[in-house]
Structure formats: C-alpha cells, structure tokens
Structure 1
Amino acid sequence: MAVYGIDLGTTYSCIASIDDVGRPAVLRNLEGTDTTPSVVFFESEDNVVVGQTAKDTAVLEPENVVSLVKRDMGREVARDIQGIEYTPEELSAFILLKLVTDARTQSGEDARDVVVTVPAYFGAAERDATRKAGRIAGLNVIDIVSEPIAAAITYGVLNPEQDRTILVYDLGGGTFDTTVITLRGGHIEVICTDGDHELGGADWDARLVEYLAERFRAEHPDAGDPLDDRQSEQQLRRDAEDAKKSLTNRTAHTVRVMHDGRSATVEITRERLEELTRDLLDRTIEITGRTLETAKEKGVDEFDDLVLVGGSTKMPVVAARLSTELGLNPRLQDPDLAVAKGAALYAFEETYRRLLAAGEDDRAEEMAGRAGLSADQKAQIAGRRIRTVASHAFGIVVVDRDSGAEHVAHLVHANDELPAAHTEDFYTVHDEQTSADVRVMEQAGSVESAELVDNSEIATGQIRIPAGKQAGWPIGVTFELDASGLLNVAAVEKETGERLELKVDVGGMSEEEVERSRTALSRVKVS
C-alpha cells in the first residue's frame, strides 16, 4: 500500500513517498518540477488550474487567481471568485488534489493515504482546517505532523548512527518556526517550539515590491501608482520573487518596472535587499533567542547542529546572521524538499506501526518488503517514539465572582508535552444559574497571557445547571490535546452527568459542510 507525505506550503508545495530501497523520494509534478506553486487559478467554475500556470496567469487575470492560502487557515474568511465563495480549506483542497493527481500519474499507484505537514506554530484551529482540507480533497489524512519534526526525521535518517540535539530554523515562503529537537537512539523528542505563521519569504517579496514601486514613482511622478493596478502589482510581485532568488547567488539584479506605458530600470543589490528586510530577519533572530531560553529552562543548552529548512534560508544573510548571533555553524538540510521527505517517512512508519498494532502482520510485512527494509530497520521503525509539544496555550474564559471581570484560565500551556490532558473544576458565579458558557480560548500572542485580547476564541458551547443551585456549583472541564495538536474539550455537570463535548470547528465549516464541499469539488476538474 502506498502512502505519501505532503508539504502543503504557503508559496510552494511538494509530495513524496518511499521508494523501493526504503528512501524518501519526491514525486515530480506533470510540469517536471519537484515543487508546485501553491497558487490556484479558476479558469471557470468547473475547471481549476494549480501550479506554475496559475502563477503565470496571475499577471493577466489577478481577480481569478488565489495565493498565500495557508495564511488564512483557521480563520473564518472566504475568497470570492467568479461569484462563488471559497473557504481556505476548499482552496487548499485544490492544491492537494493537484499534488496527489500528479503523483498518481507518475507512480501508477493510488495516492489517497497521506500525512500533511503544518508549521510547528500552527494552533488547533489551523491544524483542524488542514485536516478538513485533506478530507474535502477525498484523502485519508493519516496524521498532521509539524514541519520541523518532518525535517528532523529526514535528518535522522541521513545521520542514523548519531545522537544529536538540533535547532531547526525553518523559514518558508509564508511561515517561520524554530524548534529544539533531540535525536536519541532513533527516537525524536521536541523540547520546545516557537514561531510566527505570518512571517516568511513572501514578506521579503513584499518589501521588494514596495521598493520597486517607490523607485518607479520617483522616476515617473506624473504616472499612476503601479500598486493601484492589479496587473502591474502582480507583475511586480513576480519580479520581486525572481530578484530575491537571483540575489541568493548574485550580488546585483536588474528589474524593469512597466506601468501605464512607462518604464523604470531598477538595480537591486544584495546589500540593499538586506537593508530593506533587516527587521524581518531580526524578528526570526528574536524568536530563535526566545526558543533557546525556553530550551535552557528545560535543561537543554548545548546544540550539535543548527539545521536550516525552508526555501528562504537560502538567502546568504540568514546563515551569516545565525552564525554570528548563535555561534553555531548552520547546515542547509535539503531546504525545499526535506519536509515532504520527512512526512513520507512518517507516513510510512506510522502506517507500518498501525498495521502491526491491528494485528495485520501480513500487510505490514508486504509494506516492508516493497520498501526493501532489513530486519533491523523494521525493528527500529516499530519501536521509534516521536514526542512533541503544544505550540500554544489553551484554556477557557472564567469570571471573577467579586468583580465580574473576565480572564482566561489556561489548562494546557505552550511547550507542554503531547499528548496532554488536564481536568479542572470551575464554578458557577450566580445563585439559581441555569447554564454556563464554555468558551475555549487559544493563545494568540507570542507569550501566554490571561487577558482576553491576547487569546482567540476557537470553540464555544453551553452546559445546563440543575435548578436551585447556589453560586459555586462545580463544572468539571477536561482539555485533551493529541500528539497532532488537535484539541477536544469536555465539560461535565457532576450531579446529572450531563456532558458537553466540543470539537474545534474552524472556518465556519461544520462536518456537514465539509462533506458538501467534498461532493461539490469532486465535480471540478483540477489540473
């Protein structure tokens, strides 16, 4: 049985599987490239194009092209395309469909069972949205795994005999994570993680876009602003990305800005790019420093390797700054493909372990045989442990009985080991109270805070209280955060046993809406 790992990226995505010698291999798309732009073009309601063609079309038909979808995951937003509103889950489903369809064509095997990666700093809502995107695409999502863990799995396979403590610095197209991971005897343990899922290479591009537009306006003050024209803006974004990539290997790059019948030739140096984006890199250094402090509090203060993952780490200034700031020698770890390869390894290993646990030894042996695994490799996979931590704190809104002020009481804290479960009693505020609201909150800022404004509401429900109860009547609340970072919440009224179960639904999509979207999207041709 074939299983796949998918790196569902903000700007580029990738799919991989295990080859016949047990190594992870990326499956190229039908255009012949390892990575596929995470861009969706709606040629019509029934025909959707994903990838490089969609990206190229953004210049001509920007109103019909969607990009940077990943930044909307977990939010109640929709994009209106040709009079139809699409949720982030549905748009991500189109990208997933492109990847698995091309993989099926290339390998000749069904591509249905997948592991999808997410940034370590994604919360419960974003992870749930990613799982739903897979379901809408008709996939069986075996698990959701954090990108640094996937990268660490790849690293561990390439360095099988070494026990190491590594700092993974993952700067992708739209998100940034930094994670401390230990590899011991083949086992993987996440010590702590931090990040910002609205910081990535797209922000470097945006700075270049502003700079190019500014230089054009300075040369042609009587012409219109190219950023006010969608086609000119899209061309600038394409030129900016090309310039950034060129400056990885060159020290200067020239862009010809065209708008309103005018043109301006702008030379961009690597030094100028670094000046324009210094504060963005500073933010990643600050977050990395915060991660190191947290690791130190947990007893980890020495590192064997600083592993760079994500296409944006190719910028020379990244390695230079990290080396200077941290005193570690950064290693580029297959930055574009490591995450998909690690996800494929995880998908294979997790499926193998589940088959063994279910008593399906013959199917497990068939998988191992097809991958050419030795007895030692099979034993290592069967016994491998992967431990991770919560990326955010989670809690509920409580009311102070005396002042009536609301604050958040956290039951799970950032960097708690997963799976995590915590039960705590909370109490009614008023006499004769007939119900209690259960408002589930997730840390929204970079640090844990009890203030409502520093948290996001991700689920809500109400539980009944028996009649005639005085203030202070107890309600038991349990938070369970699984190893994938998906959250379940239960509240129990102890006299009647009434139970409120809350599963985090995001993007306004209920389970019924997910199924409707799956049926509707199955009629759309995706290429």
Structure 2
Amino acid sequence: MAVYGIDLGTTYSCIASVDEVGRPTVLRNLEGADTTPSVVFFESPDNVVVGATAKDSAVLEPDLVVSRIKRDMGHDVPRVRHDRPYTPEEISAFILRKLAEDARTATGDPVEDVVITVPAYFGAAERDATRKAGHIAGLNVIDVVSEPIAAAITYGVLNPGQDHTILVYDLGGGTFDTTVIRLSAGDIEVVCTDGDHELGGADWDDRLVEHLAERFQAEHPDAGDPLLDKQTEQQLRRDAEELKKTLSTRTQHVVRVMHEGRVATVELTRDALADLTRDLLDRTVEITRRTMDTAAGKGVEAYDHLVLVGGSTKMPAVAEALQKEFELVPRLQDPDLAVAKGAALYAFEETYRRLLTAGEEEQAEDLADRAGISADQKRHIAGRTIRTVASRGFGIVVTDKETRRRSVEHLVHANDALPAAVTQDFYTIDSGQTGVSIEVMEQAGAVESEEQEDNAVIAEGVLKIPAGKPAGWPIEVTFALDASGLLQVTSRERETGEELELRVQIGGMSEEEVAESRAALSRVQVS
C-alpha cells in the first residue's frame, strides 16, 4: 500500500514517496528527470503529451500547447484544442496522470492514493479545483495540503528534535507565498500566511522576453515585432528561462535572438536582470513584511530560520534582498523538491493515522514496516498535530434594510485558525419574502473589504422561506472550513427546517461532470 505526494507546480511538477528506510524520495520521470514541465501538448484528440517534449513542441505548434494552467485553477477559463474545450481541472489532470504513470513505471506499483500540494494563498475555489483535477486523473486525493506546510514537514525531518519558528519564503514558477510556522516537538502550527498566486518566476521570464524583443527591434527597426510571431515568442520564452537560470550561477550571458532571418546578439548581466525585475522582488518583500507584521500581532517576536522554497529562490538577488531587509540569513531548503518530499511524508503519516483511527492496525503496521519505521517514529507520527489557518476571508452578501446597499459580511477571516465552524443569524428585509439569495464570497484582495468588487463569488443558491413571514425573519448560516481550506456552507430556515447546502463548484463542474470527464479522458493516451 504505497502513498504519494505530488507538487503540482505552475512551471514544473514532481512526485515523491517514502522509501523502504523511511526517507522521502522523488521518483524520476521516464526522461530521467526529477521534475516534469507542467506543459501539455494536444497532439491529437486521442493523444496528449506532457512534459519536456510538450515544452519543445510549443516552439513549432504553440496553438496546441498549454502551459501555466495552475494560474487558472478555480476560474472558468477553458482552453479549446481540436475543437474541444478543456477546463483547467482537466488539463491539470493530464499532468497528474503523467506523473502517476511515470511513478508506476519506476516502482512497479499503481499510483492511487495521493496528497497534492497547493500554494498557501490558494482559496477554497482553487483548492477544490485541485482536488477535482486529481479525481479526473483517476486518483484518490487523500488531502490537499499547503506547500509551506509540506516544506515545513521536510524541514522538521531534516532537523529532528529541534523547536523552531521559521519563515517560509516560497517563490515558485507562478505563485508566491510567505508563511510563519512554529515547529514544536514535531508538531506544526501555521501562525499566518499571505501571498499572491499570480506572482512567480514566470513573471521574471516575461520581463526577459520583453527585454530580448525590445533589443532585437532596436537593432532591426525595420523587422516585425518578434512577439507577434507565435513561434518566435515561444523560442524567446525558452531562451528567457535558460537565461534566468544561467544568471543564477554566472554574472553575464549572451543570447542570440533570431526572427525573420535576422539575428540580434543580446548580452545581459546578473545586475541588469535585477534592475529589470526589481519591482517584482520588491512585491515579494512587501508581502513578507506584511506577513511578519501579522505574526508580530500574534506574539511572534523572533525567527530561527528563513527557509527558501521554490526554484525561483535560486536567483542570488532573492537571498541578498531578504538578508538586507530582514537581517535573517536565508537557508536554501532543497528548493525544487522539498514540497513534493513533504507531501509524501504527509501522505504517509496521514494514511497511517487514518488506518489506526479506523481500527485497521494490521494494515497500519504493514505500511510502517514497509517503510522501516521504528516504534518511536510510529508513536511520533500517531501523535503529530498540524494546525493551519485560513488563507483568505469568507462571507456572504448582505443588504441594508434602509439604504438597500449591498456589502459583504465576513464570517471567517484570513489567518483564522482551521478547522473553523461559524454560525450566524441573518434576517429578511421585506415582509412576505418567499426566499433569500445566499451568495458566498471570498476575499479577492490582499486586505479584507466589505465592498463586493473586492471579493469573488464562489457559490450561490436560494433558500425558501415559508409564505407570509414578516420582515426580520431569521436565517441561520453556517460556514465550515476544514483543515485543508475546503469550504462548505449551509443555510437553514428554522421553522420548517428547510436547508440549503452550498458546495463550492469551480468552472461549472459538478461532481457528476467530474465523473463524466474522468471517464472520457481515461480514453486519451497520455505520454
């Protein structure tokens, strides 16, 4: 009975499991790499290619390739390929299937039970979409866990027996999070989190693409814009990513930009890259400072370590800026693989605990024995607690009886401890109402706001009211946010017991549609 942890990234993904001596180990793909590009090439309606080959295909057939789909999770933005619209969940499912099938080839065991990681700042909508992507891929998603928690688990295993307060700075390919975590006797407590799921290494790449195109046009003003040619643009994106990586180890590098038979030689230094992207780095510093201010309000006065996670933290400018701003020595913690390894450990431990709770001691012992877990480690795993917080605020739309102004009243606030269950009474505003509209809202900006435009609708429905009731008739609303950040909302009319249960649905995909998609896409070959 093997379980797996998956880091489903914006630009790269990987899968890990716990080996026979209890160590988290990343499983290499069929191409022999630890990480797989999160790129999907729709070669035909019946054949999909994921990974490095798909990334190469983007240069020649950009209209058949999809990348950075993680940024669309939780949004209804299908991509049409071969006359079929694919939701972000379905495209992510292809990436998950590639990881699972390569892992099966590597181990000889089927991949079924998985934990998938998400950015800490992902809201209920994005988390629910990620879970559905796993189901479409044919996987049993044990849990969806935040990336900084996974990284903290890896950190704790590498630093056993030590109590620490750590600041996790997670700059991935497409998302950024910063999280304050306490580690005590192996237990993990998230104090607070903040972030931006549309800020990551891909934005550094975009700046470089623009710079290379501008330099080409400056040298060849009579030539067309390289960014208007899809093939040239894709080549520039490959060049930009390689340039960024190269400048993490070298102080300067040269790129040849080719377009319409012309060539421009562009030399860029590490300092010039820092200047081009300074505002992006400054945004991460600002969010980090905001997180530390929130943590200070919760009693955190000092940090033992600043842990860097995510491939983009390899850029020297990141560590330099953080050390200068916060006077903490950054610690590069296996940035590309720490999240997947932590997810594998979490999957193993959660499965072990669930088996014990269900009274299936024999299966739990078999799982532990296969991983070479000692009696002390078993006791530690069984007793470990992980406490986290809400990434954003959640509420409902209310209408003022006198002014009829609509605003958002939040029941759960960002950085409230999870799991959270809040019940509150609301009231009708007119006599004879036969129903009330329940609109569930999620904080969209960095700061909680009652203005509707600063929040996003993530679920809605209508609750029936008995006829002839006066204004001010009470409606009970309950928000239940579980430890994974998944939300369930129930509203109840007390007299009749009429209930409306709202489960957050993403991109219009109901559970029935997820099942249909799983059946349909299972017939597509993924390689």
- TM-score band by shorter chain is over 0.9
Q: Where in structure 2 are the equivalents of 1:112-261 lying within 5 Å?
A: 112-261=112-261
For 1:91, the equivalent position in structure 2 comes to 91
SS of 1:141 mapped into structure 2: strand
Displacement of 1:137: 0.3
SS of 2:59 mapped into structure 1: coil
Displacement of 1:301: 1.6
Q: Unaligned regions of 5+ residues in structure 2, if any?
A: none
For 1:30, the equivalent position in structure 2 comes to 30
1:359-396 Cα shifts (integer Å, max 9, x gaps): 00000000110010111000000000000000000000
RMSD: 0.4
TM-score under structure 1 normalisation? 1.00
1:502-521 Cα shifts (integer Å, max 9, x gaps): 00000111111101110011
For 1:108, the equivalent position in structure 2 comes to 108
For 1:49, the equivalent position in structure 2 comes to 49
1:94-142 Cα shifts (integer Å, max 9, x gaps): 0000000000000011111000000000000000000000000000000
Instruction: Give the whole-Å Cα distance in 2 for the aligned partners of 1:511 and 1:182.
Output: 36
SS of 1:59 mapped into structure 2: helix
Instruction: Give the whole-Å Cα distance in 2 for the aligned partners of 1:5 and 1:354.
Output: 16
Name the amino acid aligned to 1:122.
F
For 2:474, the equivalent position in structure 1 comes to 474
Displacement of 1:261: 1.1
Name the amino acid aligned to 2:372.
G
Q: Where in structure 2 are the equivalents of 1:115-514 lying within 5 Å?
A: 115-514=115-514
Name the amino acid aligned to 1:352.
Y
Instruction: Give the whole-Å Cα distance in 2 for the aligned partners of 1:180 and 1:281.
Output: 19
Name the amino acid aligned to 2:92.
S
Instruction: Give the whole-Å Cα distance in 2 for the aligned partners of 1:457 and 1:231.
Output: 37
Instruction: Give the whole-Å Cα distance in 1 for the aligned partners of 2:495 and 2:336.
Output: 55
Instruction: Give the whole-Å Cα distance in 2 for the aligned partners of 1:294 and 1:338.
Output: 26
Displacement of 1:63: 0.4
Displacement of 1:20: 0.4
Instruction: Give the whole-Å Cα distance in 2 for the aligned partners of 1:229 and 1:507.
Output: 31
1:280-331 Cα shifts (integer Å, max 9, x gaps): 0000000000000000000112100000000000000100100010010000
SS of 2:248 mapped into structure 1: helix
1:188-246 Cα shifts (integer Å, max 9, x gaps): 00000000000000000000000000001111111000000000000000000000000
SS of 1:99 mapped into structure 2: helix
Q: Unaligned regions of 5+ residues in structure 1, if any?
A: none
Instruction: Give the whole-Å Cα distance in 1 for the aligned partners of 2:483 and 2:343.
Output: 15
For 2:82, the equivalent position in structure 1 comes to 82
- The aligned length equals 527
Name the amino acid aligned to 1:98.
K
Name the amino acid aligned to 1:118.
V
Name the amino acid aligned to 2:423.
T
Aligned residues with identical type, % of pairs: 74
For 2:20, the equivalent position in structure 1 comes to 20
Displacement of 1:34: 0.1
Displacement of 1:161: 1.3
Deviates more, 1:252-261 or 1:378-387: 252-261
Name the amino acid aligned to 1:73.
M
TM-score under structure 2 normalisation? 1.00
Instruction: Give the whole-Å Cα distance in 2 for the aligned partners of 1:421 and 1:260.
Output: 61
Instruction: Give the whole-Å Cα distance in 2 for the aligned partners of 1:79 and 1:459.
Output: 23
Displacement of 1:352: 0.1
1:467-525 Cα shifts (integer Å, max 9, x gaps): 11111100000000000000000000011110000000001111111011100110000
1:397-433 Cα shifts (integer Å, max 9, x gaps): 0000000000000000000000000000000011111
